[in-house]
Amino acid sequence: MKSQAYFEKIHKQIEYNLLAANQSIRIAVAWFTDAKLFDILCTKAKEGLSIELLIARHDINFDSNIKYKELIENGGNLYWIGDNGLYAPLMHNKFCIIDNKVLLFGSYNWTHRAKSNHESITVIEEDANLILDFNQEFDKIKNKYYSNDATVDWQKVIIRLDTLLNVIKLEDEEDIKYQLDKIKGLIPKGSTDIKIIELLQILDYCQEKLYSNTINLILKFTKEHKQLIIHTDPEIPALKLEVRMLEYQVSCLEDEKTESEKQINRYKIEYNLNLGELIKKILNLKRELAKHEFENDKSKQNEFDEANKDYEDFNNAYEDNLKEPKPQNLNEEQLKELKQNYRKATKFCHPDKVTEEQKVQAQKVFNDLKEAYDSNNLIKVNLILKDLEKGIFKSQGETISEKDKLLAIKNELESKRNKIEIEIVELKESKTYTTLTEIDNFENHFEELEDKFRNVLEILGSQIKKHEGK
């Protein structure tokens, strides 16, 4: 399983994955007004790929310039979801399944306006179980509006069967016929649903006045289906999947944040190793120069104090940095394996993903994993991953059923996701990160800085000599 979070160039990432499709594309989004992405779907449909698009029956889509019928004309499938502006709740969470191998999901709207919004997507590869869950949810949303089976109001069916049971006991043949007709009106034509077949058997027995058989089948049917139909909140499965989506998003964003922090830390280490002693000399000379100026002009006390503080602060940080253990040296292939296996491991043990009872244990494993990753300890990362693959931890999105708890977890994960996104943006906008992303060759970079600093050192030395000569 591979995973990656994106909050920059999201549109390009979606384009890339759609263009890479060679078998099928299934998309469920509330709003789809991006003409460029739509053209890719039409092209892929024309090439013979299976294309299915679920979008909301909403004014935002109706008012767009996209000619949706072109997808159908090219061999694709378009499903308008919802009635009177209402649509499936899960479609707030946009997702796309490509070739049953790649899953894209997140907060990004497939609209032109979304390009300028603060959004993100997560790309998951080769997670068969998660992709299966999303395929099932896709079918569930589609079937709610486009399948005969989905039109059955099972709650009404159960109530009618209970009523039929009572009128049979009362031997009221007129009412029996009335209830039979009512139940028949709830059954779609041509359905192959096993529950429908069982229901039709009940009606056949009743019409043949085999009331004993009818009663027994009704009792059996209602016992098997009543709790599921009447008491199960249909939003719970969707919420569970939504929680799992957010768990993945948070974990992927944490990985992205960790990677950015690691790059910044690596640069700081190299910076200190290559330039630390030189910077110490510069700050020391600045301190001496400030001292001379203070001795000649007492109003420059603040400048002297500041120069002295700059030297002490840097020296202390520099000495501490030298004492810290340095990351292990890995070749390019090993670094790739380290990053891949670390990201894979975090999906198993991230504290925000596991059940409440496992959070303490998960936090410890997660901390050990991060420490191993930060130090480039490939062996330890691989050992932790091997243990995690045994299934130590369970997702709260898979185990929790209570709607209120699921909603609370969802809100908490959304808040955390948004917080991490902001932290990543701040990291990538920092001076250090901006600098290191512009470096083509680290060796040349530090050589250039060293030349500049030595020039500064020479200038400061000359200024001090002038003061000493007065």
| Tokens matching residue 75 | 């061999």
Residue 128 clears pLDDT 90, i.e. is over it:
no
pLDDT at 229: 52
Show me where the domains of the chain are located. 2-146, 152-231, 237-271+324-448
d(CA 436, CA 119): 25
- Exposed/middle/buried for 332, CB within 10 Å: 0-12, 13-18, 19+? exposed
pLDDT confidence band for 446 (50 / 70 / 90): very high
pLDDT confidence band for 390 (50 / 70 / 90): confident
Residue 391 clears pLDDT 70, i.e. is over it:
yes
pLDDT confidence band for 292 (50 / 70 / 90): confident
Mean pLDDT of the chain: 85
pLDDT confidence band for 151 (50 / 70 / 90): low
**Class in CATH terms, 2-146:** alpha beta
pLDDT confidence band for 123 (50 / 70 / 90): very high
Q: Following CA atoms 429, 431, 432, 434 in sequence, which dihedral angle do they give, to the nearest 10 degrees?
A: 60
Residue 228 clears pLDDT 60, i.e. is over it:
no
Calculate what percentage of the chain has a pLDDT beyond 90.
33
Can you say whether the dihedral through the CA atoms of 286, 288, 290, 292 is positive or negative?
Answer: negative
pLDDT confidence band for 88 (50 / 70 / 90): low
Residue 230 clears pLDDT 50, i.e. is over it:
no
Can you tell me the mean pLDDT for 362-374?
A: 91
pLDDT at 85: 52
304-324 tens-digit pLDDT: 899 999 999 998 988 888 887
- Exposed/middle/buried for 105, CB within 10 Å: 0-12, 13-18, 19+? buried
pLDDT at 41: 96
pLDDT at 334: 92
d(CA 111, CA 107): 12
What are the C-alpha distances in Å from 252 to residues 247, 349, 402?
9, 12, 26
Residue 49 clears pLDDT 90, i.e. is over it:
yes
pLDDT at 451: 94
User: Which of 57-66, 135-144, 180-189, 221-230 is predicted with the least confidence, judged by mean pLDDT?
Assistant: 221-230
Nearest CA to 96 out of 140, 126, 135 is that of: 135
d(CA 151, CA 161): 18
Calculate what percentage of the chain has a pLDDT beyond 70.
90
Nearest CA to 92 out of 103, 77, 105 is that of: 105
Residue 227 clears pLDDT 70, i.e. is over it:
no
3-45 tens-digit pLDDT: 888 877 888 999 999 999 999 999 999 889 899 999 999 999 9
pLDDT confidence band for 51 (50 / 70 / 90): very high
Residue 247 clears pLDDT 80, i.e. is over it:
yes
